[in-house]
């Protein structure tokens, strides 16, 4: 009886330590990116863009080498059967079941909550070889509410608002490794396209930090970014005393 008790205790300990053992082996997190939702009123959002953004983020996560990313075909039918709606939002309590059916450890959802664009004339400007310099300044701002749902528990493990900002002068943003296609093909060189690329790069870097690297340095940097974002948001409010 005593031997059986010790055996049972050892098995329980092995199960409890399984996630840590996997982490020690350096196993990559298995993730699935759901269809993005739009709450921003952005003019470039049209049919199919939600899945296009999900695909672009999936490509970026895969290209980082830090994640195993499930293909859209592996998850879309399950998402539809689970009645997640076209918004891509996961209903409370369904995360664990979806993860079990798809093989994903984590479900990543994104909601575009804000988009602002500004084009201003700077005067002058020169052009040569089809490349323009000066004359026009274009900026765009994009905010994405990001959630990472644990497919084992159904709980939200990580939540963050990620911002992407394009800068004037026609310069590309970040190191985005994917491409624009479908409904977004026309936005490749626009302020919207640059802001989207910036947001995707930032999302990928953030997820790699908190889910893979888990270093105090990078996590402190993102905490500082979040503090600055929240302070800026507070500063935009003019509250009565």
Q: What is the pLDDT of residues 12-36, one digit of tens each?
A: 443 333 344 344 345 899 999 988 9
Domain-located, residue 79: yes
- For strand 131-150 and strand 106-128, is the pairing parallel, antiparallel, or unpaired? antiparallel
Q: For 39-87, what is each residue's pLDDT tens digit?
A: 998 989 988 899 999 999 999 999 999 999 999 888 877 776 665 443 4
In a domain, 19, yes or no: no
Q: Is residue 98 part of a domain?
A: yes
Q: Residue 67: which CATH number?
A: 3.40.50.10610
| Structural domains in the chain (count) | 1
Does a structural domain hold residue 8? no
Q: Could you tell me the residue range of the domain that residue 204 belongs to?
A: 27-170+184-233
In 97-216, where do the E strands start and end?
106-128, 131-150, 156-166
């Amino acid at each position: 009886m005593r031997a059986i008790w010790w055996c049972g205790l050892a098995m329980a300990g092995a199960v409890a330590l399984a996630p840590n053992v996997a982490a020690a082996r350096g196993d990559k997190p298995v993730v699935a990116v759901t269809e993005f939702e739009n709450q921003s009123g952005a003019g470039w959002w049209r049919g199919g863009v939600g899945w296009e953004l999900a695909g672009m983020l999936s490509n970026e996560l895969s290209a980082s080498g830090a994640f195993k990313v499930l293909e859209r075909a592996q998850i879309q039918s399950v998402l539809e059967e689970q009645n997640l709606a076209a918004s891509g939002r996961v209903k409370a309590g369904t995360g664990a079941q979806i993860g079990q059916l798809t093989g994903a450890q984590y479900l990543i959802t994104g909601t575009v909550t804000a988009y602002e664009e500004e084009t201003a004339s700077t005067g002058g400007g020169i052009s040569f070889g089809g490349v323009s310099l000066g004359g026009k300044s274009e900026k765009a701002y994009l905010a994405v509410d990001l959630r990472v749902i644990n497919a084992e528990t159904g709980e939200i493990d990580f939540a963050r608002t990620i911002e992407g900002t394009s800068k004037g002068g026609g310069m590309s943003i970040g190191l985005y490794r994917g491409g624009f296609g479908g409904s977004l093909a026309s936005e490749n060189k626009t302020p919207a396209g640059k802001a989207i690329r910036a947001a995707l790069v930032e999302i990928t870097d953030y997820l790699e930090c908190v889910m893979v690297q888990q270093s105090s340095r990078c996590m402190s940097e993102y905490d500082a970014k979040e503090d600055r974002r929240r302070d800026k948001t507070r500063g935009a409010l003019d509250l009565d005393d």
